[in-house]
Copies of this chain bind each other. A is one copy, B any other.
Amino acid sequence: MQKHFSLNDILNFEPRYRATFINSLGGFKSLALIGTANQIGQTNLAVFNSLFHLGANPPLFGFIVRPDSAERHTLHNIISTQEFSVNHVSESFYKKAHQTSARYENQISEFDATALTEEYKKGFKAPFVKESNLQIAAQFLRKVEVVENGTLLIIAKIKFVSVAENCIATDGYVDIEKAGSITCVGLDSYHRTEKIARLAYAKPNVPLTEIT
Give me the interface of A with B, judged by CB distance under 8 Å: 1-7, 9-11, 13, 15-32, 50-64, 88, 91, 94-95, 98-105, 108, 113, 134, 136, 141-142, 144, 146, 148-149, 151, 153, 155, 157-166, 168, 171-177, 181-183, 185-204, 206, 208, 211
The 10 closest A-B pairs by CB, nearest first: A27-B30, A28-B183, A24-B174, A17-B172, A20-B172, A21-B172, A22-B56, A191-B193, A102-B202, A55-B149
Q: Which of B4, B95, B160, B196 contacts A7, CB < 8 Å?
A: B160
CB within 8 Å for A162 and B4 given contacts A95-B208, A98-B208, A195-B190: yes
CB within 8 Å for A151 and B64 given contacts A10-B158, A194-B191: no
Bound-state CA distance A185–B134 (Å) is: 14
Bound-state CA distance A185–B161 (Å) is: 17
User: Which residues of chain B have C-beta atoms less than 8 A from A182's C-beta?
Assistant: 28, 196
How many protomers of this protein does the assembly include? 2
Instruction: Determine the residue in chain B with the shortest Cβ distance to A169.
Output: B20
Q: Is the CB of B3 within 8 A of A163?
A: yes
User: Which residues of chain B have C-beta atoms less than 8 A from A23's C-beta?
Assistant: 53, 56
Q: Is the CB of A21 within 8 A of B174?
A: yes
Q: Is the CB of A64 within 8 A of B50?
A: no
Q: Is the CB of A13 within 8 A of B172?
A: yes
Q: Is the CB of A53 within 8 A of B22?
A: yes
Q: Is the CB of B190 within 8 A of A26?
A: no
Bound-state CA distance A95–B196 (Å) is: 11
11 A-B pairs in the complex with CB atoms less than 8 angstroms apart: A24-B175, A25-B59, A26-B53, A28-B29, A28-B182, A58-B148, A62-B64, A95-B199, A183-B193, A188-B201, A188-B211
